[in-house]
Amino acid sequence: MVQFVDVKNVSRWISTTGLDNIFDGLVSYVESDFKRWENFEKRPRVASHSHYGVIELMPTSDGSNYSFKYVNGHPINTKKGLQTVTAFGVIADVESGYPTFISEMTLLTALRTAATSVVAASPLLNPGVESMSMIGTGSQSEFQAIAFRSKFGIQNLKVWDTDPEAMEKFVLNLEPLGFDITVAKNANEAVAGAQLITTCTADKTNATILTEDMVAVGAHINALGGDCPGKTELDADLLRKSKIFVELTEQTRIEGEIQQLEADSEVTELWTVLRGSAEGRSSHDMITIFDSVGFAIEDFSVLRYLQNSVQGTDYFEELDLIAEPSDPKNLFSLISENAVW
C-alpha cells in the first residue's frame, strides 16, 4: 500500500498546523538538503513545451529515496477558470523501487518555493529590512509574504500587478492576517527605495518589469517569474550589475533570468553559500538576485517533510497501487484466480 495525501488533506494539514509552523520546519528541511547537495542526482527538469504552456517532470534521488514531481505551467488557464500550475509528486524507496508516498503538489509547490526564497534571503538580505515590494500578486504571492514574515518579521508590503483583481484578492487574503499593504500605481512606485523585492509574474514572455534604474543600492531581488525558456522579468543590464545566485546553474541557464546573459556569465550556486564554501552578500551596497526557477531537491524536501509530518495522523489514506501476487514470480495469478475464460 502507498500513502496518499490528497488536496483536502494537504489543505487540512496546512490549516491545522499553521503556516508559520510549517515554514519553520520546511525551511530547515530545504536548508539541510541544500547543504548535502552533492548527495543528490541532479539534472535539469524534463520539459515538454507547447503553444499552451509547459509540462515538466522533476526527478532526483539521494541514494535512499527517489522523488519526482509532475507539474505544468499554463498561463492561459486562468481565462478558462483553471489553475496556471498544477502538480503531484511521488517518493519511492531506492532499494526496492516501490513508491511509498504520493501527494498533491500544487499547494506544496507554493510552500517549498516560499521556503526556498527565505533560505536564499538569509545570507543575501541586508539586516534590518522591514518591508517587501512585490510585483505580481498571483498564486505564489501570499505564501511568499507569510514566509518572509515568519522568518524576518516583515509585514509591510507594497504591491503592484497588471491585474487589479489579483491585487484585490491579495489584499483581501492578507490584510485580515495583520499585514500592512500599500497598493502601488505602477511597478516604479512599488519598488521605489525597496531593499527587498519579489517578482513573480505569470505571462510566458520575455518581459522587463524591473530595470537597473528602478532598483535601490543594496537591494535583494527574489526573482521567481523566469521559470522556462523565453520567460524573463529582469532587464539584462540589471543582471550584469548584480551578484546572481541560482539553484542548479545548468537548469537556470535554460529557464532563468540568466538565459539572457552570456553562457560564461558568473553565477553562484546557493548550496555553496549555505555550506560556507562561497561568499553571499559581501557589501551593504551590493545588489543581490536569487534567480529562482525551482529545482527537484526542493520538491524532495517538501515531500519528505510532509511524509514525516503526517505519520500517525489521519491526513493520508492508503492506495492499493502496487501489484503484489503471493508468488512474486507469478503476476498472472492476480487475474487467473477469478477469471472467466
Please give the Cα distance from 315 to 5 (Å, whole number): 6
Please give the Cα distance from 30 to 303 (Å, whole number): 11
User: What letter does residue 339 receive in the DSSP assignment?
Assistant: -
**Packing angle of the helix pair 19-35, 296-310 (nearest 10 deg):** 130
Which of 62, 180, 203, 227 is the catalytic position? 227
- Judge whether 227 counts as a catalytic residue: yes
Per-residue cell: 228 = 522556462
Q: Give the closest residue to 323 by CA, choosing from 2, 103, 88.
A: 2
Determine contact, residues 26/301, Cβ cutoff 8 Å. Answer: yes
Catalytic residue annotation? 227
